[in-house]
Structure 1
Amino acid sequence: MSTKVFISWSGELSRKLAEALRSWLPATLQYVKPYFTPEDVEKGAKWNSEITKELETSNVGIICLTSDNTEKPWILFEAGALSKSIEKARVCTLLFNLEPTDLKGPLTSFQGTRFLKEDFKRLINTINNVAGDSKLDTVVLDSVFEMWWPKLDEQIADILANDGESKEEEKRSDRDILEEILELNRMNSTRNAHSTHVSRRAVGEILEFLEEMAFVIDHEHGDLGFSLHKRLERPMRHLCMAADAPDLFDRFRRRRERYQVELFAKENKCDEPELPSDGG
């Protein structure tokens, strides 16, 4: 039986590192079946179907972190989803040219692994320990790792050496993250405004994705998700009106109100007041 490893990434450098890991893992541990989505857009489009199914059946999650993606919205979103689908002890942040002290927020709660031989070997042990009947004996695992490690080490070193970024990017604030999400949403709104037809279904999928992201960010960053919702409210209203779907916007607002009540109740350990149903 295969051991499924979900590999999360964001950004071009992180993608190349994750792809190298995806190729190396099953060559070293033949029972491993990695899940790696090569395109950011494809990941977003498939979130509610393929990626959800993969998460539900994955045994281990690896989050590939570089200096320029530790606060990327997609990394934070997938990290939150991994923590809900896989035992937290089996979700690992893999740090490339980073130290655990460089991380902050929700990413600090996961098992941090620097891409150094001994650290990385502990990550391989974690994968091997959940392999069930396919698990390799310690002596065999040590031998296999010693044989295959130099190849991965050389490939990763080459990727990092050829990375176009010569200096570490400044860590972005929560405001910068919100600005990026807002700009993406504005681009979608502008393109749809010039179209002769705006798909109600597409708008519904965008709203559903935003609700999921805001919900995850709420749990990891407190009021950040609520701020995100407020910033997106106006452009989303215009988009819903263009799609002749005011009911979708009303549902969006009511669901956010419910999320806020649920979070408040959880933080204050009190019963949740009843809110009107959103009908969906």
Structure 2
Amino acid sequence: MNPHYRPSFATEELEFHGNENNPEGKALYFPVHRRRILIDTLSRPESYFEYLPEENSINGTEVIYIGTIKEIPCYCFELEEEFCEPDMQYFDLHELYGMVDEEMLGIASRAVQMADFYRTHRYCGLCGGNTEYVPVETGMQCQNCSHIAYPRISPAVIVLIEKDEHLLMARSKNFPEGVYGLVAGFVEAGETIEHAAHREIREEVGVSVKDLTYFASQPWPFPSSLMIGFTANFAEGDISIDPEEIEDAAWFHVEDIPKLPQKKSISRALIDHFLDEHAAKE
């Protein structure tokens, strides 16, 4: 683990298979509807997840145990409809960033992904039978053929490419106006994360790199990815973008960096690391 980086949307204190029996009966609940969490907006941030809707609002779904933090068990459940009482409001994970502390944001991230997993795996992919959640397996098991499906995590690489005092940055057509980030892409079946990094760089911006070095990783629950960050040095080649993936790419001097992604992303952490290193050399 990188000691200088605390990834957003990650939980570091939650015991995934901890003790569910709290001596005082305390618990935290994460009601979810299509990847958004229901919160009592009149409560304080530290009390956001203490509210459990009435029983009739969760009929037809299953309350899933997702772990224990400081002896308090945590649960999530997918609401069948967009249930909302007065003073209750739905928030997505992007909106929760900055509203709650990083650890609670990480637990909320896990809750959203587990509720979404439950919602999308109620029927067996092999025989079509009904499934049920099996806590010890963290999976949905078919009641007919016993096939088990597990939460899908999609690994993706993201690479900071530097050349002297310059940083290779790219922007997707989906980025906010003026924002540049780093080269990134999903790992394909049958390849290592290192091979994926070299392939994505070659495909998206046309250059090759050397000295590929692991930096850190970050859960990215949009919807369910694991970002694996690297740094690398430019080796050779001219920038040639893939217009299907990249709108623009260019080298930027350390003193002329464009508008950056928000701090909640590992992309920003990598860029800040690059800037801090060069600032220290001055």
- Do the structures match in fold with TM over 0.5? no
Query: TM-score scaled to structure 1, two decimals?
Result: 0.22
More helix by share: 1
